[in-house]
Amino acid sequence: MYCSDRPAGYLKSPQPLVDEDKKKLEKENEEPLETKEPEEDMKKDEEGQRKTEIKDLYNTDQKILIGCVGDFSRARYIASELGDASKMIVMSQYSCVDELETMYENARSQMLDLTKLGARIVFDVDFKKFAKDSRINHTQYDIILLDLS
């Protein structure tokens, strides 16, 4: 029987300064700001916004702990982009797969994909006290993500 859920914060790439912000900073510093082109490794999405690739943020050598509140889609996305999730633990606040499936119809397929990629799933985790949970506190993690979406 399986059981676990969603992260509280995740890294966002810095937003570019708009003209109004540049003018304020120029007045404060009295020096013109340099305009930089987006870095070569940054891609743009359909709306022209900067988009950071998963492989630029994480790698398979890192021990990653992901707390999921939803259907594990973000954890599955990260794992599939990396291609190997053997050093990834995904935790959920739900007590079992059945409870999770009543809320999210595709949760089971997301979990199967994660386990095929090597991730370990831990259910019934209190996100406020997960550091004391003996199922996950035996490892020092390089990255801890709380996915609250």
Please check whether residue 77 lies inside any domain of the structure: yes
Question: Measuring CA to CA, how many Å separate 45 from each of 21, 51, 109, 125?
Answer: 23, 6, 27, 35
What gap in Å lies between CA 136 and CA 125, rounded to an integer?
A: 9
Please check whether residue 103 lies inside any domain of the structure: yes
Host domain of residue 100: 52-147
What gap in Å lies between CA 79 and CA 97, rounded to an integer?
A: 19
DSSP state of 96: S
CATH of the domain at 109: 3.50.50
How many domains in the chain?
Answer: 1
The pLDDT value given to residue 98:
86
Per-residue pLDDT of the chain (149 residues; tens, 9 = 90+): 333 343 433 333 344 445 555 555 555 555 443 444 444 444 555 555 556 788 888 989 999 999 988 889 999 999 999 999 999 999 998 888 888 888 888 889 999 999 999 999 999 998 888 888 888 888 899 999 988 76
Please check whether residue 104 lies inside any domain of the structure: yes
Q: What stretches of the chain show up as alpha helix (H) in DSSP?
A: 19-29, 54-57, 73-82, 97-103, 107-116
